[in-house]
Amino acid sequence: MLDTLAHTLRSHPDHPAVLGTTRAGAVRTKATCGELADLADLYAGALHARGLRRGSTVGVAVRPGPRALAVLLAVHRLGLRAAVLDPGAGPDVLRARLALARPDIVLADATAQAVAGWARPLARRARLALPDLAELGGPVATVGRRLPGCAPALEAGARASVLPPAVDEDGDAVIVFTSGTTSRPRAVVHTRSSLAAGMATVTGLVRPEPGRPVLGGTFFVLVPSLANGAPVALPARSPRVLARQMRRLAPQATYLTPPQLRAALAADARFGGRVWTGSAPASAELLTRVRQAGAEEAWGVYALTELFPAAAVEQAEKAAFTGDGDLVGAPLPGVATRPGPGGELLLSGPAARHRYLGEEPEPWVRTGDQGRLDADGRIVLAGRSKDMVLRRAENIYPGLYEPALHVPGVELALLVGVPAGDGDERLVAVVQPRREADPDRVREALAGPLRRMGTARPDALLLADIPLSGRSLKPDRAATARLAAARTTGAVR
């Protein structure tokens, strides 16, 4: 897919590739196909001149956009592997991850290097807390605009050289950090073939048409869309600007996270074409609201860092599901499933990661989700294995019941366990009403679903804003459990 993208960029150099927006929502071109291809060649030449060869590791701390994509294209051409560094992970975590990945060079934009002095205001605005990358042992180079205090530019001092032939063999492509601790970080290793398989699956799902824009900022949106001749618009950060952007852009397809969708809906955004969402649970109620806001189709994507994507379900199918648990759709082509210990869902397929860094390859991905296949062969989740609540010797899996809490007027809903003081746990339903919702009406609407939970009925109901975490702003269960413990004492009435 990346080879196809490189060819497409050179074939249509004047076509827009990456789009941005003004505050009024007007479309502006951030990079043409030719500019993106030239930038990728520049970076590839600079990395090659610095002595990086096939198998070398490049740490990448560059915010999404043309330069980040050009870096990844350069890395792919040379047969290097990219270790994706999240600048928002915090200094201790980042140090541990760098120690595990041991990159030969770290490429960072100015914001990622914002650590002291002149850069502190920039770092605070970007919600970053980074160590000084220059103190971490390996060389650091700046990608993009270089500000005072930054490392030298990547291309600075690089001798002009003829680019070697593009690597055309399989091998490690990308390292993505996931779970683990500061002392023992964990990272997923994808190969060139597993990345290609995942992006081919995305292409089959989204079906991008040449010349019509796609809205979305992730690597798995940018590459398949651009490879098929569709320019990609990076979503505006401001919900109001995003709403204007969608109105002016009229994208054929849109990929936003559930928090982005909720924020856009709160800003009265109108959708069109096909809308996709993932990286956090998407309820049938949220997908229905997107359809009501004009989308032709609204899809929830079930994916993991270890295997992207695994399943997808459209709003109508999800809304019609009346069984227990969370329907996430039929396994996508090539994805195999099987039950693991304790009912954990295991997945495998061409797009599955090769291994965890420092560990042996494994054919099956442990999802951490309780799941099953229904009579129609669709995946139904019953919650995270680690999210199980043990109450009065009964195992309660929140994901089995949380979908029922997404009644009209509810923005988010989680079931969490809080200590009961005797080794047992209390189950608390934490529900975040939509901004315009009447809390009394929300409580009334929840009464029926709560009664239907039977022995899993919560001990308490709390209406509150649910804490979010991570760059994709997923609901933070641990923080929600702490909130519930601090603010609940009474039982559900």
- What letter does residue 169 receive in the DSSP assignment? S
Q: What is the pLDDT of residue 129?
A: 45
**Which tens digit of pLDDT belongs to each residue from 205-234?**
999 999 999 999 989 899 999 999 999 999
106: which strand partners? 59, 140
Pairwise CA distance, residues 340 & 360, whole Å? 19
Pairing mode of beta strands 214-215, 410-419: unpaired
Residues in the chain: 493
**Which tens digit of pLDDT belongs to each residue from 50-64?**
999 999 999 998 988
**Which tens digit of pLDDT belongs to each residue from 405-425?**
999 999 999 999 998 866 678
Q: What percent of the chain has pLDDT over 70?
A: 89
- Dihedral of alpha carbons 302, 128, 178, 5, sign: positive
Continuous segment of H or E residues that includes residue 163: none
Which residue, among 160, 112, 187, has the nearest Cα to 354 in the 3D structure? 187
- Count Cα atoms within 13 angstroms, Cβ side, for 281: 27
Instruction: Flag the least confident range among 135-149, 315-329, 406-420.
Output: 135-149
Phi, psi of 126, rounded to the nearest 5 degrees: -85, 0
- Three-class DSSP category at 413: strand
Q: What is the pLDDT of residue 128?
A: 47
Q: Tell me whether residue 375 is exposed, middle or buried, using C-beta atoms within 10 angstroms of its C-beta: 0 to 12, 13 to 18, 19 or more.
A: exposed
**Which tens digit of pLDDT belongs to each residue from 236-269?**
999 999 999 999 999 999 999 988 999 999 999 9
Instruction: Flag the least confident range among 82-96, 258-272, 320-334.
Output: 82-96
460-463: strand order across its sheet: 410-419, 425-433, 460-463
Instruction: Flag the least confident range among 152-166, 354-368, 445-459.
Output: 152-166
- Dihedral of alpha carbons 470, 474, 475, 481, sign: negative
Q: What is the pLDDT of residue 211?
A: 95
Q: Residue 461: how many CB atoms within 10 A of its CB?
A: 21
Q: What percent of the chain has pLDDT over 90?
A: 69
